[in-house]
């Protein structure tokens, strides 16, 4: 008979049980207080009391308690919480002799953090309204081509799609006509429901700056606006940030901003009036921040591409599971498809060649994009229908290296075909697999330009086994490239927002660790005067 003779609670680091295999000892019984529910551990054979408590952050946490007494022959023996064998013996009442051969280590429970948000707290600036809210109020003037007010409705998701096909193309819920440049608004509204927000910036591991820089810039990119007008808001936001006490803590190294346009738009290299974009990301303060945007502007170490918004914004995990299963079982009569328009003004573009390849093949479906009301490329039903019926989807560069269409095709379970490494492989490192060939096909642009390849023949050589494996990987990627409904949070699935937040927190933690570990005069921060400042207490600072 196994007798429990030693029973200890060791601080908050776990519980160690020691059992003595004796046959003539008296049986030990454990008290069962009625104020707790009892859970029996089948391995140990002892009840474990559980209770819930609320910590200072109003987070309910489950904790385990073990009774600190053992009843032997109706006599209660108290066991204190102590460390070390010597103290254990001094606090036990007449313990039996310690025989090493008769002792078994049953289990050691892991540490449970009292604060589940430790290392995940984010502080959000309450910016002057000119940097976000006023832009939404003036939404009619944000674009020369379309009225953005329609697309910024529903927390940035745009108008809801009504699918009259009874779910044959889209699922019945959670589809919106989402603009590809609305990421800033979607991200900000999602952050408002982030589980680890704090109003105490001293607790924050990262600080989020909700400036709608892409929407702000969009109203000045066309129409002949001078660089002073384009640079006004970027300079003002950086001036405001540099005056905040939170900024001076790390001179912006723990700050991050989300931008809904490509990096090229925010890195103007000169002050010539005809040069494109703003100098936002070239301003001195910006060099310390992290930027999350839809396309990287080059080989910079502080901008990190995250997915374009798609049309699907589910509010429940089950919606995603059901959509994934639907994409797995779709019949795909077309070998490949292309949705896009030619770029006749660009001598480097291969789009016209790809359109010819598609038109010459019965295995290709072409969705030709054009300006005006007849442009079906902005209609989620048309786009998703084409991609759902295709095995491969061609994704050449457009006005820039990346395309929103890449994420639409993945959402439809269609294997993307890339022609330039900057279209995906060197961009979305946080969200895409490291093994490029596991989810996509690569055909060099030079082979298309030099007429060395026939798209139809190249894709036909991919074996059925390889196609099935890639399609499964693409389907698995779907949760990682969508942004769920900002007003709700998923329970078991990480979406594009969750992954981005996790990775930016990790980046900032790495920066802090390097500052702590490297006691070197070179470790400093670029401050508001464009000179190097050093963390407080750094003995190596000059």
- pLDDT (tens digit, 9 = 90+) per residue, 263-279? 999 999 999 999 999 99
- Residues of the chain above pLDDT 70, percent: 74
- Which pair of structure tokens corresponds to residue 467? 């196609």
78 — phi, psi (to 5°)? -85, 135
Question: 171 falls in which pLDDT band (50, 70, 90)?
Answer: confident
Residue 370 is predicted with a pLDDT of 78
Band of residue 101 on the pLDDT scale cut at 50, 70, 90 = very low
Tell me if 193 sits within 8 A of 489, measured CB to CB: yes
Strand-strand pairing, 16-21 and 122-124: unpaired
Q: Which tokens in the block code for residue 514?
A: 């390097």
CA distance 280 to 266: 5
Burial of 259 (0-12, 13-18, 19+ CB in 10 A): buried
518 falls in which pLDDT band (50, 70, 90)?
low
Average pLDDT in the chain: 81
Question: What ranges in 258-342 are assigned the alpha helix state H?
Answer: 317-328
Q: How far apart are CA 258 and CA 278, in angstroms?
A: 16
DSSP result, 34-92: TTSEEEE-TTT--EEEEEEEE-TTS-EEEEEE--SEEEETTEEEE-----SHHHHHHHS
Q: What does R_g of the chain's alpha carbons equal in angstroms?
A: 30
Average pLDDT over residues 76-104: 42
Task: Place 181 in a pLDDT band, splitting at 50, 70 and 90.
Answer: very high
Q: What is the DSSP letter of 7?
A: E
Note the pLDDT of residue 103. Answer: 41
Q: Which residue has the tokens 């129409």?
A: 223
Segment 284-313 shows an average pLDDT of: 95
Say how far apart CA 524 and CA 208 lie, in whole Å. 21
On whether the CB atoms of residues 424 and 403 are closer than 8 A, the answer is no
CA-wise closest residue to 416 among 444, 389, 437: 437
At 14, is the pLDDT very low, low, confident or very high (cuts 50, 70, 90)?
very low
Spatial separation of the C-alpha atoms in residues 108 and 14, rounded to whole Å: 6
| Secondary structure (H, E, C), 416-483 | EEECCHHHCCCCCCCCCCCCHHHCCEECCHHHHHCCCCCHHHHHHCCCHHHHHHHHHHHHHHHHHHCC
What's the whole-number mean pLDDT along residues 240-244?
97
Question: What sections of 243-371 are H helices per DSSP?
Answer: 245-250, 317-328, 351-359
Given this model, what pLDDT does residue 330 score? 96
CA 224 to mean position of chain CA atoms: 37
For residues 419 and 448, the answer to whether their CB atoms sit within 8 Å is yes
Residue 228 and residue 220 in contact, taking contact as beta carbons nearer than 8 Å: no
CA distance 436 to 420: 12
Between 526 and 27, where is the model more confident? Answer: 526
What tokens does 214 get? 């892409």
Triad 338, 408, 367: Cα angle to 5°: 25
Residue 528 pLDDT > 90? no
Element (H, E) at 231: helix 227-242
Per-residue pLDDT at 320: 97
- Per-residue tokens: 86: 């010597």
The better pLDDT of the pair 258, 47 is held by: 258
User: Which whole number is the average pLDDT over 179-187?
Assistant: 97
**Chain CA centroid to CA 371, Å:** 33
Q: Per this entry, what is the length of the chain?
A: 542
Query: Are the C-beta atoms of 541 and 299 separated by less than 8 Å?
Result: no
Query: What pLDDT does residue 250 have?
Result: 94
Number of helical H runs and strand E runs in the chain: 15, 20
pLDDT at 116: 93
Distance CA 419, CA 444 (A): 5
Q: Edge-to-edge, what's the strand order for the sheet holding 364-368?
A: 364-368, 334-340, 390-395, 415-418, 441-442
Q: Which residue has the higher pLDDT, 121 or 96?
A: 121
DSSP state of 211: -
Q: What is the dihedral of CA 283, 286, 291, 297, to 10 degrees?
A: 30
Predicted local distance difference test score (pLDDT) of residue 297: 80
Residues 342 and 336 sit within 8 Å (Cβ to Cβ) = no
CA distance 445 to 452: 10
What is the pLDDT, as a whole number, of residue 326?
96
Nearest to 215 by CA among 322, 293, 296: 293
- Backbone phi, psi, residue 301, to 5°: -95, 10
Does the pLDDT at position 99 exceed 80?
Answer: no
- Express each pLDDT in 299-351 by its tens digit: 899 999 999 999 999 999 999 999 999 999 999 999 999 999 988 888 789 99
Q: What is the pLDDT of residues 399-409, one digit of tens each?
A: 999 999 999 99
Q: What is the pLDDT of residue 18?
A: 41
Unique residue bearing structure tokens 């470790």: 523
The confidence score (pLDDT) of residue 373 equals: 60
Cα gap 283→281, rounded to integer Å? 6
Give the per-residue pLDDT at 110.
Answer: 52
């Amino acid at each position: 008979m196994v007798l429990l003779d030693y029973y200890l609670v060791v601080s908050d680091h776990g519980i160690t049980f020691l059992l003595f295999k004796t046959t003539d000892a008296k049986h030990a019984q454990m008290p069962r207080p009625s104020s707790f529910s009892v859970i029996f551990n089948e391995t140990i054979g002892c009840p474990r009391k559980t209770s819930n408590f609320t910590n200072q952050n109003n987070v309910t946490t489950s904790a385990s308690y073990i009774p600190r007494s053992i009843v032997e022959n109706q006599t209660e023996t108290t066991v204190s919480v102590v460390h070390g064998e010597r103290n254990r013996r001094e606090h036990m009442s007449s313990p039996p002799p310690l025989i090493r051969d008769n002792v078994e280590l049953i289990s050691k429970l892991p540490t449970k953090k009292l604060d589940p948000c430790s290392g995940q707290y984010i502080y959000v600036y309450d910016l002057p309204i000119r940097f976000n809210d006023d832009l939404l109020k003036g939404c009619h003037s944000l674009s020369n081509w379309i009225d953005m007010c329609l697309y910024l409705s529903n927390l940035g998701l745009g108008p809801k799609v009504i699918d009259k096909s009874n779910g044959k193309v889209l699922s019945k819920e959670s589809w919106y006509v989402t603009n590809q440049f609305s990421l800033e608004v979607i991200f900000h509204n999602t952050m408002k429901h982030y589980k680890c927000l704090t109003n105490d910036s001293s607790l924050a591991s990262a600080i989020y700056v909700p400036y709608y820089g892409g929407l702000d810039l969009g109203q000045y990119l066309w129409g002949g606006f001078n660089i002073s007008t384009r640079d006004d808001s970027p300079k003002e936001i950086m001036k405001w940030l540099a005056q905040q006490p939170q900024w001076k803590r790390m001179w912006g190294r723990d700050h991050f901003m989300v931008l809904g346009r490509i990096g090229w738009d925010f890195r103007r290299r000169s002050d010539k009036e005809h040069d494109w974009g703003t100098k936002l990301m070239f301003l001195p303060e910006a060099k310390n921040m992290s930027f999350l945007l839809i396309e990287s502007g080059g080989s910079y170490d502080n901008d990190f591409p995250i997915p374009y918004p798609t049309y699907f914004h589910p509010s429940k995990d089950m919606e995603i599971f059901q959509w994934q299963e639907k994409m797995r079982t779709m019949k795909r009569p077309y070998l490949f498809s292309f949705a896009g328009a030619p770029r006749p003004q660009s001598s480097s573009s291969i789009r016209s060649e790809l359109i010819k390849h598609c038109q010459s093949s019965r295995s290709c479906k072409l969705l030709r994009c054009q300006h005006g009301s007849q442009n079906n490329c902005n209609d989620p039903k048309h786009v998703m229908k084409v991609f759902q019926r295709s095995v491969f989807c061609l994704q050449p560069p457009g006005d820039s290296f990346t395309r929103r269409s890449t994420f639409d095709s993945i959402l439809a379970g269609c294997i993307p075909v890339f022609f330039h490494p900057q279209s995906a492989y060197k961009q979305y490192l946080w969200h895409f697999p490291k093994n490029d060939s596991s989810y996509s096909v690569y055909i060099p642009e030079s082979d298309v330009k030099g007429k060395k390849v026939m798209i139809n023949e190249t894709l036909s050589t991919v074996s059925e086994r390889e196609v099935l494996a890639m399609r499964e990987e693409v389907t698995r990627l779907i949760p990682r490239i969508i942004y769920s409904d900002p007003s709700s949070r998923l329970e078991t699935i990480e979406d594009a927002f969750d992954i981005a937040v996790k990775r930016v927190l990790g980046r900032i933690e790495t920066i802090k660790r390097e500052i702590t570990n490297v006691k070197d005069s070179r470790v400093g921060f670029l401050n508001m005067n464009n000179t190097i400042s050093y963390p407080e207490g750094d003995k190596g600072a000059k």
